[in-house]
Amino acid sequence: MKRFLNITLLISCFCFEAGWSQETQIVEDFKPSTINQADKQFPQVNSQRRVRASIAAPNANKVQLDLGGVKYDMRKDENGVWTGESNPQDEGFHYYQLNIDGASVPDPGSLYFYGAGRSGSGIEIPARDQEFFALKEVPHGLVSENIYFSKLTNSFRHCFIYTPPGYTDNEKTRYPVLYLQHGSFEDESGWSAQGRANLILDNLIASKQATPMIIVMDNGYAYKPQNKESAAKKERPESIFEEVLITEIIPMIDSKFRTLANREHRAIAGLSMGANQTMRIMMNHVDTFSYYGGFSGTANYPSVDPIDASTFLEGKYKDGKAVNKKIKLFWLGLGTKEPSPFPKSIGAFKTMLDQQGIKYVYYESPETAHEWLTWRRCLYQFASKLFK
């Protein structure tokens, strides 16, 4: 009996290993990523959502693909070309880099994006619902760069402006405005480059699911100029983005573009750090905005403790009824795979809203974490409900 059990166990283990090997076998149907540089064949993605990278580095001793916090060893051929594959990845956009003998460098085959505090490589894993942010044969808006001098920061700054299809056709039409902020270690280029905000709005407007609007994407890092003493001590500069937005950016946009310059036609939203910034700005300036969207972030980010309602409301409102009268849409979104502390933080914030009787809309992006596919979906859902 014991011998029978041992044989059975051996056969079971063999079958398990054979099955595991078959399941993990790499499928050779790789195709170049959709965000490669012109005519570059690598990086590539296959039907298993694996990434294959390749680079010529004949004098290197070790090369790795660094993706999603995991490093994958690459193989060197007789021509000095290194090639390697990752494990299956989640759908959507991801930052990555190559590690050559300990030095992390961008992959020369991909387009570069500003994220994680640097310009680096990006890979697009095809998503099942990618049609909503795909480039289609529909009327397209324009993303332009607007340079301005900020007296508050004593520096030149710039923002990206999305104007909807038809903006240049009728000089009398005025549009509502959405102020849309990026996350930490990203900048004003993120929403149009990684986020595909312009394509999302183009598609929504073409299908008549969204009101044509202007989108302003500025840099959330704005600091008060330091004196020589503070600079010498390397003290952390004071953030004044709220003041810059209210007193410089909004008046500038209203003067340069054909906006509907009132709170009923003005919205503000952001992701992660940008959600925290914009929520506080919203509650301090409810006479300026009437729509709010928070993607993967709230006013108590990154704390997981429930925020005190009086602090959140800045003492301006005794209960949620006044907030509900002012804010036409209070919208929150989160990915179902978000890491800690985001689920607890946003959950605590929702509890506070419920206790105060503040109405809100909550959305969960299926099978996405703290990443751009979550925020693309959030923008898609949020924008379709604005200015209606």
- Averaged pLDDT, 154-163: 97
For the range 3-7, what are the long-range contacts, defined as Cβ-Cβ under 8 Å and sequence gap of 24 or more? none
| Per-residue pLDDT tens digits for 358-369 | 999 999 999 999
| Per-residue pLDDT tens digits for 16-35 | 333 333 347 999 999 999 99
| Burial class of residue 167, CB neighbours in 10 A (0-12, 13-18, 19+) | middle
- Indicate whether 337 pLDDT > 80: yes
Say how many C-beta atoms besides its own lie within 10 A of residue 113's C-beta.
21
| Per-residue pLDDT tens digits for 99-144 | 999 999 999 999 999 998 999 999 999 999 999 999 999 999 999 9
Instruction: Quote the percentage of the chain above a pLDDT of 90.
Output: 77
The beta-strand segments (E) located in the chain are: 31-32, 44-45, 51-56, 63-67, 70-73, 75-76, 81-85, 92-100, 103-105, 112-115, 118-125, 142-150, 155-163, 177-181, 214-217, 266-271, 291-295, 329-335, 361-365
Confidence of residue 152 (pLDDT cuts 50, 70, 90): very high
- Averaged pLDDT, 40-56: 98
pLDDT at 140: 98
Confidence of residue 54 (pLDDT cuts 50, 70, 90): very high
pLDDT at 8: 40
Mark which of 88, 108, 126 sits at the end of a domain: 126
| Per-residue pLDDT tens digits for 65-95 | 999 889 999 999 999 999 999 999 999 999 9
- Indicate whether 162 pLDDT > 60: yes
Shared domain check, 157 and 84: no
Indicate the number of domains in the chain: 2
Shared domain check, 137 and 110: no
Shared domain check, 62 and 159: no
Residue 268, domain extent: 131-383
**Residue 355 in domain:** yes
**Residue 5 in domain:** no
CATH code of the domain containing 205: 3.40.50.1820
**Residue 379 in domain:** yes
Mark which of 126, 159, 188 sits at the end of a domain: 126
pLDDT at 266: 98
**Cα dihedral sign for 373, 201, 132, 333?**
positive
Confidence of residue 49 (pLDDT cuts 50, 70, 90): very high
Shared domain check, 47 and 193: no
- Indicate whether 316 pLDDT > 60: no
Given a contact cutoff of 8 angstroms between Cβ atoms, the answer to whether 91 and 125 are in contact is yes
pLDDT at 318: 57
- Indicate whether 350 pLDDT > 80: yes
> Bigger pLDDT: 47 or 356?
47
| Per-residue pLDDT tens digits for 273-294 | 999 999 999 988 999 999 999 9
Shared domain check, 172 and 104: no
**Residue 17 in domain:** no
Return phi, psi of residue 21, to 5°.
-65, -40
Angstrom distance (rounded) from CA 322 to CA 330 = 13
CATH code of the domain containing 59: 2.60.40.10
> Bigger pLDDT: 232 or 42?
42
Q: Which of 122, 176, 165 is nearest to 143 (CA)?
A: 165
**Residue 91 in domain:** yes
> Bigger pLDDT: 57 or 13?
57
Given a contact cutoff of 8 angstroms between Cβ atoms, the answer to whether 120 and 112 are in contact is yes
Shared domain check, 97 and 216: no
**Residue 287 in domain:** yes
pLDDT at 20: 36
Confidence of residue 233 (pLDDT cuts 50, 70, 90): confident
Tokens representing residue 116 in the block = 């994680």
- Residues 6 or more apart whose CB falls under 8 angstroms from that of 15 comprise none
**Residue 16 in domain:** no
pLDDT at 283: 87
Given a contact cutoff of 8 angstroms between Cβ atoms, the answer to whether 115 and 194 are in contact is yes
pLDDT at 170: 86
Confidence of residue 349 (pLDDT cuts 50, 70, 90): confident
Shared domain check, 342 and 199: yes
**Residue 388 in domain:** no
Mark which of 110, 126, 142 sits at the end of a domain: 126
- Indicate whether 5 pLDDT > 50: no
pLDDT at 157: 97
pLDDT at 312: 57
H or E element that contains 205: helix 197-206
Shared domain check, 282 and 350: yes
| Burial class of residue 168, CB neighbours in 10 A (0-12, 13-18, 19+) | exposed
> Mean pLDDT score of the chain, rounded to an integer?
90
Shared domain check, 342 and 212: yes
Shared domain check, 267 and 172: yes
Shared domain check, 218 and 117: no
- Indicate whether 382 pLDDT > 50: yes
Shared domain check, 141 and 111: no
Confidence of residue 167 (pLDDT cuts 50, 70, 90): very high
